[in-house]
A and B are shown apart, each in its own frame.
Chain A
């Protein structure tokens, strides 16, 4: 789960990382009230989970009540790369002397955590990384050892920040590492981490991505949820706990396992069709999950045929078949189904489906044949 900036800052504050005082608001009046209370100048910041909001006009400095009102009303409701701004973060403006970059994430290749720190923070950090890799000081951290203070200090020294920033940066990085590990984050990133003319260091932005697998031990995360801007299909899928990505083609796809689901999209493409979605029903899916998946696909008006591609390992064929039969009873499916069922208990599954086969439910023995049939049916559907 990705957090909005203001949520990330709330998390940072809990771990003792200094952030600017501010308020999250969702109306113009509340924005003005917060700005008056914080004292001018303030920064009005769009809360969206996409980069480039500054360039899109989603971050503005306000020097008085009138400007706060103007900026808040302009930014609320703004569409930034498909993300509609519903929340603003009103923050006391900071004097910036220098901008740094700091992050922790997993280095999959090294199988250890990686801290990155650069004196060249700001918007173009990826370009800095590509052109001058030495401008980013890196530290690999064995999770068993954690990040000891002396190692952290040595790392900060390597990054060649302003010497006045050293102590503040060390303290923030130690806290940020705790926020990353104890907070069960996949990523914590501060860009920029700033040095003020008074010599203070603090986080001016916050990017935090939480590990959904750890939600069971973080009941406090419930306050973060429910604010993503999902389309109707994605919302429906989320309610059913399905891994769904909406695409714009005509062949609805249901598969078990992310790899097979991706592969199914690839094959549909290769035989001349276009996938309407990526949908992974996961391992061990039962009849209910399959029925729910079909409801989600059925809610997509573009879908002209449905390709169910199941290779059961942990998923059992008879459960898949029961789910399809249930779904056929529960919902009026607009599009015909092509199914390819293989693996664990596939024969039991095919036996269940046999009684229901028709021109609306076709079974094919291989992935390629099923893809071809699904694409043909989709073409016929579009022609109608």
Chain B
């Protein structure tokens, strides 16, 4: 088992004809992912190394049965691309694009939440997600991962997602699914969304989460873990030594109170029974202990 994606996931790539889209679309396919179509209205009817390019997501879905989309278009077109995928009935939208204006993100997140409750968005500005051996959508270098479980990974930072995979891979610990949720202001998927799914997934028996300073997503995850997680969780929070950012105005401070620092996040997680490593390697070591005791 896995969460979000498996061997039956069929991916349409919005942006397949761009240089990034091509590189990662083909790399994901080479890994074994069913990359079934690309979308570009100007290049409909062509193909990218055998992957057919359609004019619209709707046509791609009708033709190929795609149920997931990877959005890898430039930021100005990302909001329209996400909405197009939702309107075409795509169940899982993985938006890799970075640099999307906050107001666009807030708008399409709330549109999806209201009008497309059956659609799930991961990202934007995320590295994607990987179910080792079955499906890789996005940038994650899958070769460092060992398939099969028992650990699920969720991370806010892209590169730390890879680091988490590497730490577990080196210890011979398998991974059910690894989700990079991205660190943008309005992520489509939160730590809690992933923790809830990992809790329900029988093959996942422990979860490692990598957070970072800013916002309150880790504190919210800690509250969820206290109330609803029975599986062990190991965490790492980046930014212990980061200098306090220069923040204008008072609104942010009023909303977050004392939350947001690495220290506050680690304390909240520890209070929830989470074992917290002080660096990625230490978190990997802690997970090895957890797995050995399963």
Contact = CB atoms under 8 A, between A and B. Distances in A.
Interface of A: 2, 49-50, 101, 103-109, 111-114, 116, 125-126, 129-130, 136, 142-144, 181, 184, 186-187, 189, 191, 207, 209, 211, 213-214, 216-217, 245, 247, 255-260, 262-263, 265-267, 269-270, 275, 278, 283-284, 311-314, 342-344, 366-368
B162 A144 contact: no
A109 B254 CA distance: 13
B238 A105 contact: no
Contacts of B20: 284, 314
Contact of B278 (A2, A211, A259, A266): A266
**Most central of B102, B140, B257, B278 by chain A CB within 10 Å:** B102
Given A105-B252, A184-B101, A367 B163 contact: yes
Contacts of B138: 313
Contact of A343 (B100, B110, B162, B183): B162
A189 B103 contact: no
A108 B216 CA distance: 8
Interface residues on B, range: 35 or more
Contact of B162 (A2, A125, A313): A313
B158 A269 contact: no
B156 interface: yes
Contacts of A367: 163, 279-281
A7 B156 CA distance: 34
A344 B30 CA distance: 14
A136 B109 CA distance: 27
Contacts of B250: 101, 103, 125-126, 129, 189, 191
Given A144-B110, A209-B248, A262-B157, 15 more contacts: A49-B246, A50-B246, A103-B251, A109-B215, A111-B186, A144-B107, A144-B114, A189-B248, A213-B99, A213-B102, A258-B157, A259-B156, A262-B238, A262-B241, A284-B20
B110 A263 contact: no
A143 B186 CA distance: 12
Contact of A109 (B110, B220, B236, B240): B220
Contacts of B242: 262, 265, 278
A260 B185 CA distance: 18
Considering the complex of A and B, which 7 residue pairs feature the smallest CB-CB distances, nearest first?
Answer: A259-B157, A257-B159, A260-B159, A313-B139, A214-B101, A259-B160, A262-B239
24 contacts: A2-B248, A50-B246, A103-B251, A106-B102, A106-B106, A108-B217, A108-B255, A109-B220, A111-B186, A144-B107, A184-B102, A209-B249, A213-B102, A257-B158, A257-B159, A258-B212, A259-B159, A259-B212, A260-B238, A311-B166, A312-B141, A313-B162, A342-B141, A344-B139
Interface string B91-105: 000000011111100
Contacts of B279: 263, 266-267, 270, 367-368
**Most central of B243, B254, B257 by chain A CB within 10 Å:** B254
A366 B109 CA distance: 38
Contacts of B183: 258-259
Contact of B110 (A112, A260, A284): A112
B110 A142 contact: yes
Interface in B195-239: 210, 212-213, 215-217, 220, 236, 238-239
B75 interface: yes
A367 B283 CA distance: 13
A111 B110 contact: yes
Interface of B: 20, 24, 75-76, 98-103, 106-107, 109-111, 113-114, 127, 138-141, 144, 155-163, 166, 183, 185-186, 210, 212-213, 215-217, 220, 236, 238-243, 246, 248-255, 257, 278-281
A126 B253 CA distance: 7
Query: Is the contact region of chain A dominated by helix, strand, or loop, or is it mixed?
Result: mixed
A113 B159 CA distance: 29
**Most central of B159, B161, B252 by chain A CB within 10 Å:** B159
A51 to B, nearest CB: 8
Nearest to B240: A266
A259 B246 contact: no
Contacts of A258: 157, 183, 212
Given A213-B100, A367-B163, A314 B139 contact: yes
B159 A255 contact: yes
A284 B125 CA distance: 12
A209 B249 CA distance: 9
Given A144-B110, A259-B210, A313-B127, A211 B102 contact: yes
B254 A311 contact: no
A119 B195 CA distance: 41
A263 B160 contact: yes
A103 B114 CA distance: 26
Nearest to A346: B141
A217 B246 CA distance: 25
Nearest to B162: A311
Contact of A114 (B98, B166, B246, B255): B255
A118 to B, nearest CB: 9
Contact of B241 (A259, A275, A312): A275
B159 A256 contact: yes
A184 to B, nearest CB: 6
A214 B106 CA distance: 13
